[in-house]
Structure 1
Amino acid sequence: MLFSITLMPPVAVSLWYNDQSYPAFLLAFFITFGTGFVAWIPFYNIKQDLHTRDGFIITALFWLVLGLFGSLPFVFSQSPNLSFTDAVFESLSGLTTTGATVITGLDELPKAILYYRQQLQWLGGIGIIVIAVAILPMLGIGGMQLYRTEAPGPIKDSKLTPRITETAKALFFIYFNLTVICALSYWAAGMTLFDAIGHAYATVAIGGFSTHDASIAYFDSHLIMAICMFFMVLSGINFALHFFSWREKKLVHYWYDPECRFYINMIAVGMVVTVCYLILTNTYSPEEAFWQGSFELVSLLTTTGFGVTDFSIWPAFLPFFLFYMSFMGGCAGSTGGGMKVVRVLLVLKQGVRELNRLIHPNAVISVKLGNKSVPDRVVEAVWGFFAVYVISFMVMFLVLLGTGLDFLTSFSAVGASINNLGPGLGEVAAHYGDINDTAKWVLCFAMLLGRLEVFTLLVLFSPMFWRR
């Protein structure tokens, strides 16, 4: 019922711009509200604390159910005229902040549809942050228990209590203000107010949807590119750090956090490699190499997916380098996708520990993040996450090959979906509209799998989960 209310702003946009698309949103509103009301009525008097098992189910159903109902405006709208499969794909891509689209001709679409796509990403983004910072650490998902004691609000280990709302309110306050500042910056830099709001939604959510086919390249502005890069980097940082820095009125938390430090260093190294390679291969002049290379590196590493050029046609080394960077993604507790920086950092540190153990078999060597030793249980969880992530990727990659897609398209489509990146290589470099429906459903599952940190979704398929 609450989600149905979010269908009202597009109605207002439709009436303001007189684009005649509001009936689709009104119909979707009544269906969504009615379904929610019917489900709520029998249980509205029941008050109980939610337990950990309920947390898994709610987290998974948040994106699955809202993704399905979020597709209704696309189904009912005459422009674009999407099939049910395409509508669900677009909706899930928005809510999971993946940014993969099946729609072309964005510049000709009704304003309400364009606004709705951007709003879906923004709503998905705040959902991701609240769940990643407040709920997943408590559920102990693949190493995220590291952040159990660092969440900005009070969290119990055994129950999801109403006090988690304190955390949610603090995070929403930061998320909302970051969006407003981003929108005002875009507007001041030359975007229209409509484009500024829409792109601020997608930037802070690290979504990548745009109101134009050319994405950020449409604006042909280095200032807008710089603003976009700044907010993409900022949104890829753990929002708990934003909270601490806002509360303490200090910026030192960012540099003292080992995950954030590694994240910034990887962006810097990636920029140097990308820009230098573009210059050495005479792809661009030094100035254009800096702007194009830096922007695409930040966009893909943070898994935003905005574009200012077609990176897939760059010299052969670079498209794969940039694509591989997206597997790391943003920091834990951010709107970024990928495996998360902290997990990659722990995998690297564990690898170094194993090498050292070969040299000194009897030595007691701990894995440390900063000055803190990481419990072996957390390191095991991270390795388990990494293994399941890779196996899931391989299985879906083979399934896509089985549907008839070529190697490059299959590999990049699964990677772009499970990393919540958006743009891929091959047939999916520009959009996903031309691939078959079976592949689209597999990629929908991949988006959910990546966004739900793999285990949150897969645990629902375990018989043990359903035993009392």
Structure 2
Amino acid sequence: MHIKVILRVIGLLVMVFSLSLIPPMIVSLIYADGVLDSFVYAMCINLVGGFLLWLPVRNHRGELKIRDGFLITVLFWTVLGFFGSVPFFLADTPDLSFTDALFESISGLTTTGATILTGIDDLPKSILFYRQLLTWLGGMGIIVLAVAIMPMLGIGGMQLYRAETPGPVKDTKLTPRIAETAKALWYIYATLTCVCAVGYWAAGMSLFDAICHSFSTVAIGGFSTHDDSIGYFNSVPIEMIATFFMVVSAFNFALHFHAWRHKSVLHYLMDPEARFFLFILLCTISLSTFVLAMTSTYDWGSSLRYAVFESVSIATTSGFGTSDFSAWPHFLPFLLIVTSFAGGCASSTGGGMKVIRILLILKQGIREIQRLVHPNAVIPVKVGGKAIQERVVSAVWGFFSAYLLVYVILMIGLMATGLDQVTAWSAVAATLNNLGPGLGDVSSTFAGVNDSAKWMLCFSMLLGRLEVFTLLVLFTPMFWQK
């Protein structure tokens, strides 16, 4: 393992990340909100910290191995969470403890959208912009962005791409060169963000709100500049725009790449994962609309409106809100949280276990039922008419088992800190699935959660963003053996 090369990469990336503090500084100057000094000090801390990591090992170069890629990915998200918390900690408004500042930083970078802040409407504009920017940077993964500039640093990037990119299949590249792949993903990502911002602005948002919400919509982060989230605007056109871009961002970005390259959208409907994802949304929306209307929670029109937005928001793990779904009748709050376990498609900005894994698990279950009737039959698991390798099916089952085991352990840990069962259950779901809102005491904010629980939830958010195995592999003795 190339420890010195790894430290050099981390140092360089932290210094690059410090440049992300420039836009909030500009916002602070424009609005004269009194937080400029905090961002200046934070930028100096980040630059010096990254420089001190880089300086002793600046001359060490080498091709990264797969284990190096895993370690860099985990270290960078962890280190970046600490450095990203500095502006929150230094700013007088909001007045946050180190634990709360770290929680907010990691929540933004992992696109979870869980917050400990209250009175968001009254916060300085630069702080609001910064937390939205953190979400946007975390959406596609800063590692993938760094991979695009790795050739200039003399460092190979494929190992980082495999370690960071979400989904069960990590070896498929859109272009022959990994740097070109990363650039293609970010061009698509930036284009969607710009179009979304223009749409919000045209629908009635202020320019500031439009830009900020486009960041968290395309990143599927859920942070908002208002306590009432999207519900603050009480606008059907804004909700329709948000719904559209949440769905688009939850699709596999490879589909967007092919749509751009081939000037066709037919492959969206031909992709089995995308079809299954839309099927989940349709079923959730239909059932929610029916229950809300039949229980007289809303009239039929309002039931459809709120069911569409909340179902898409929770199922894609965005976490935006127009209604308090935790107060909905019967099983609906539980149903919506459960849909977040499927989350978005592979290689999207969504969280959860990914739709393709759920689809493979269902198909594997059907195959086992068929084998009971025909025990000697050879029945391959197929997706889109193509047989899936048994190694992939086995890996999906392994991931599913690890995901549930981690979930149970974290939930028990939270209950041990004093949280009630509903709050603990939903808090783990909200963080491990990178969803944001939960039920019980965390339905709106995590401010009331004790510090011990917040640290566990920070770990849960990192686990979810790195898809469990990327982080857990570091705790195995085999990983550290030569």
TM-score w.r.t. structure 1 length?
0.95
Please give the residue correspondences for 1:332-411 in structure 2 after superposition, counting only pairs within 5 Å: 332-411=346-425
- Find the residue that maps to 2:303 and give its secondary structure: helix
1:326: which partner in 2? 340
Which residue, 131, 139, 151 being the options, matches 1:125?
139
1:273: which partner in 2? 287
1:188: which partner in 2? 202
- Find the residue that maps to 1:47 and give its secondary structure: coil
1:83 equivalenced with 2:105 (yes/no): no
- Residue 265 of structure 2 aligns with an amino acid whose one-letter code is L
Return the alpha-carbon distance in structure 1 between the equivalents of residues 158 and 366 of structure 2.
31
**Alpha-carbon distance, 1:42 to partner:** 2.8
2:276: which partner in 1? 262
The one-character-per-residue Cα deviations of 1:319-371 (angstroms, maximum 9, x if unpaired) are 00111001100001000000000000000000000000111000000000111
Return the alpha-carbon distance in structure 1 between the equivalents of residues 330 and 98 of structure 2.
36
Return the alpha-carbon distance in structure 1 between the equivalents of residues 330 and 22 of structure 2.
46
Please give the residue correspondences for 1:194-343 in structure 2 after superposition, counting only pairs within 5 Å: 194-343=208-357
Return the alpha-carbon distance in structure 2 between the equivalents of residues 278 and 60 of structure 1.
42
- Residue 6 of structure 1 aligns with an amino acid whose one-letter code is S
Q: For structure 1, which segment, 29-38 or 195-204, has the greater mean C-alpha deviation from structure 2 after superposition? A: 29-38
**Alpha-carbon distance, 1:141 to partner:** 9.1
1:433: which partner in 2? 447
Which residue, 143, 149, 174 being the options, matches 1:152?
174
Q: For structure 1, which segment, 42-51 or 385-394, has the greater mean C-alpha deviation from structure 2 after superposition? A: 42-51
Return the alpha-carbon distance in structure 2 between the equivalents of residues 250 and 73 of structure 1.
44
**Alpha-carbon distance, 1:46 to partner:** 3.0
CA RMSD of aligned residues (A): 1.7
**Alpha-carbon distance, 1:129 to partner:** 8.9
Residues 37, 143 of structure 1: alpha-carbon distance in 2 compared, 3 angstrom cutoff: closer
Alpha-carbon contact 2:73-2:143 (below 8 Å) kept: no
Return the alpha-carbon distance in structure 1 between the equivalents of residues 410 and 364 of structure 2.
27
Alpha-carbon contact 1:142-1:378 (below 8 Å) kept: no
1:26: which partner in 2? 40
1:157: which partner in 2? none
Q: When the two structures are aligned, how many residues end up with a matched partner?
A: 458
- Residue 279 of structure 1 aligns with an amino acid whose one-letter code is A
**Alpha-carbon distance, 1:137 to partner:** 7.7
Which residue, 106, 112, 131 being the options, matches 1:92?
106
Return the alpha-carbon distance in structure 2 between the equivalents of residues 27 and 140 of structure 1.
30
- Find the residue that maps to 1:435 and give its secondary structure: coil
Residues 56, 47 of structure 1: alpha-carbon distance in 2 compared, 3 angstrom cutoff: same
The one-character-per-residue Cα deviations of 1:232-268 (angstroms, maximum 9, x if unpaired) are 0000001111111111111122112111111111111
1:171: which partner in 2? 185
The one-character-per-residue Cα deviations of 1:61-85 (angstroms, maximum 9, x if unpaired) are 2211111100000100000000000
Return the alpha-carbon distance in structure 2 between the equivalents of residues 30 and 203 of structure 1.
30
**Alpha-carbon distance, 1:142 to partner:** 9.5
Alpha-carbon contact 1:134-1:168 (below 8 Å) kept: no
1:448 equivalenced with 2:462 (yes/no): yes
Alpha-carbon contact 2:144-2:161 (below 8 Å) kept: no
**Alpha-carbon distance, 1:153 to partner:** 2.5
- Find the residue that maps to 1:61 and give its secondary structure: helix
**Alpha-carbon distance, 1:59 to partner:** 1.4
Return the alpha-carbon distance in structure 1 between the equivalents of residues 59 and 108 of structure 2.
33
Alpha-carbon contact 1:142-1:384 (below 8 Å) kept: no
Q: For structure 1, which segment, 411-420 or 50-59, has the greater mean C-alpha deviation from structure 2 after superposition? A: 50-59
- Residue 297 of structure 1 aligns with an amino acid whose one-letter code is S
- Residue 186 of structure 2 aligns with an amino acid whose one-letter code is F
- Find the residue that maps to 1:282 and give its secondary structure: coil
**Alpha-carbon distance, 1:221 to partner:** 0.2
- Residue 171 of structure 2 aligns with an amino acid whose one-letter code is R
**Alpha-carbon distance, 1:140 to partner:** 11
- Residue 104 of structure 1 aligns with an amino acid whose one-letter code is T
Alpha-carbon contact 1:137-1:144 (below 8 Å) kept: no
The one-character-per-residue Cα deviations of 1:206-236 (angstroms, maximum 9, x if unpaired) are 0000000000011010000000000000000
- Find the residue that maps to 1:232 and give its secondary structure: helix
Q: For structure 1, which segment, 373-382 or 121-130, has the greater mean C-alpha deviation from structure 2 after superposition? A: 121-130
Return the alpha-carbon distance in structure 2 between the equivalents of residues 137 and 57 of structure 1.
12
Structure 2: gaps (5+ residues): 1-14, 148-156
Alpha-carbon contact 1:129-1:333 (below 8 Å) kept: no
Structure 1: gaps (5+ residues): 155-162
Q: For structure 1, which segment, 136-145 or 37-46, has the greater mean C-alpha deviation from structure 2 after superposition? A: 136-145
Residues 311, 134 of structure 1: alpha-carbon distance in 2 compared, 3 angstrom cutoff: farther
**Alpha-carbon distance, 1:43 to partner:** 2.8
- Residue 454 of structure 2 aligns with an amino acid whose one-letter code is K
1:467: which partner in 2? 481
Alpha-carbon contact 1:143-1:379 (below 8 Å) kept: no
Alpha-carbon contact 1:136-1:144 (below 8 Å) kept: no
Q: For structure 1, which segment, 38-47 or 363-372, has the greater mean C-alpha deviation from structure 2 after superposition? A: 38-47
The one-character-per-residue Cα deviations of 1:268-291 (angstroms, maximum 9, x if unpaired) are 111111111111111101111011
